[in-house]
Structure 1
Amino acid sequence: MSAFNLTPSIPLTFILNGIPGLEAAHIWISIPFSTFYIISLLGNFTVLFVVTKEETLHKPMYLLLCMLAFTDIGMSTCVVPKALCIFWFSFKDISMDGCLTQMFFLYLFNATQSAVLVTMAFDRYVAICDPLRYDTILTNTRITKLGLVGLIRAVLWVLPAPLLLRRLPFCTNRVIPHTYCEYMAVLKISCGDTRVNEIYTLVIILMTIGLDLTLIGLTYGLIIRAVLRISSKKAHQKALNTCTAHICVMLMSYTPFLYAVLTHRFGQGIVAHVHFLLTNLHHSLPPMLNPIIYGVKTKELRDKVGKYICRM
């Protein structure tokens, strides 16, 4: 009987089922998703274009903004186009190789963005705590090297995940109740022993998000200590204002990710479509808002963007 119940160890295709329970509303759901994606591309490509064109913006902070914009474009592009194909045309099939490729690049951009956020926290620390040495500590070359280290770290830590998943057998149920190849969702439909995959996933989460959040927490602890030593309230406000945009971006980036991790482990009672909607928004809403937040909070960038808009 097992011969009839099992497919080959690597199935040809999976079926991405969209958002379970809301299949009838897929068309309506696609409207905000496509809108977020278009605005995200427009905003992030604008940041990349303006920073590239304006020599006065060739500074470490704006180089970091370009890295953030690049990861935002990559992260949303990994998820949203396929989701829209499901919503609009019911193109639900995805090959095993396509699924693993999507998974690899999605988590690669996630891990790289986390490294960029850590570097941004360090940038804010130097700007507030040691402003006189800012130009010597944080050069464009050093920021580029830190970005490459973050990218290499992401590749080394993320690459084993799809490779470990490929070795698992899959039963006749190839339906993934999601709009993209989310790692835990794919793992749940395997009929093999997934303990190694689960342990590796936990280790990677601790080594990436756990370590990065710890570093960011320590950095902001030093920033707060330095700010409290300043006697002037005006100086307090000015120092903290320089961190506002970074804090907002961090909250939007890490909160949905931690929510997804915790609900996979402990949130069995949460309604499925609510969980899947929120995880999808994690890959479309922050990439749209990040360039807007930095555009509003960074006067120099805002002025340069306004100059190009006025020329049109």
Structure 2
Amino acid sequence: MLTDVRFAVRALLRTPGFTAAAALCIALGVGANAAVFSALDAVLLHPLPTPALDRLVVLRDNLPTFNLLDAEVSAAEAHDLAARGDLFEASTAFTSANLTLSGTGAAERLSGVRTTGDFFRVFGTRPAVGRFYSAEHSWRGQHRVAVLSYGFWQERFGGDPAAVGRTLTLNGEPHEVVGVLPREFRYPRAGQLWLPYAMDSAALGNRGRLNMTAVARLRPGVTPERLRAGLRDETGRWQQRFPGPDGYASFGHSVTARPFVDFLAGQMRPVLLLLTGAVALVLLIACANVASLQLVRAGARARSLAVRAALGAG
């Protein structure tokens, strides 16, 4: 065994070109697979640094009459669901926002996230610098505050703690920077700034605008059966409050809950499956290339191997 290993090492050292090519092929295949496994680990196994992640649920609208299943909710519905303290420890809803930063030279487009309720409490995160805004800031007149992502804080302010307290002009309105998210928190991933969603009578009166992702943290002890019963009870109240041909009952409306981890994985599953297939193909190609190199090398050494066999060298 030891003799075979020594012979293999000497053979590899005598052909550095072959050795380098084979090592490169294997490294590419293994490296690609390691990268995809890291993505799978980040999305499926450790999606967010959030305590008790199993208690997070996503609340979704279902309106079979319009063929809308597993849809987003309206701000008004999210507001009503947040009041269900018997089910939820904390609740939030959020939507993406296109922001224009001005007043610092050329206008710049930024990616924002507007949230209702206790967004940061739901996800159990703490500020790296400053503080977070609370549910009270969602009401119009108190909503002009902002929390920066860690990356945007580093890029725009160089990680200066004095960024907290500064004013940013976003979409023509001044917003006070009150805090910075920790480095490890990146949800939604594209967000650069988090701002309160401005709740007013118009937002609460528009139940047809289904544009918000609602996430809630269950109270300890709330079982799936109790949650389903509570959601049926809430939608029953909506049907009583809004009757008639355009009411909830006429649409076959219901609200369902999904585990947050399943929801997050579902958003990324098509991309991850595509990546997994691609890297599996890369690994197969790498193995085929190494096998081809071995065949070429064996053909080139056929004469020397025949001589060794004739001399009894094995």
| TM-score relative to the length of structure 1 | 0.27
Query: Which protein has the bigger strand share?
Result: 2
Q: Which has the larger radius of gyration?
A: 2
Query: Which protein has the bigger helix share?
Result: 1
| TM-score relative to the length of structure 2 | 0.26
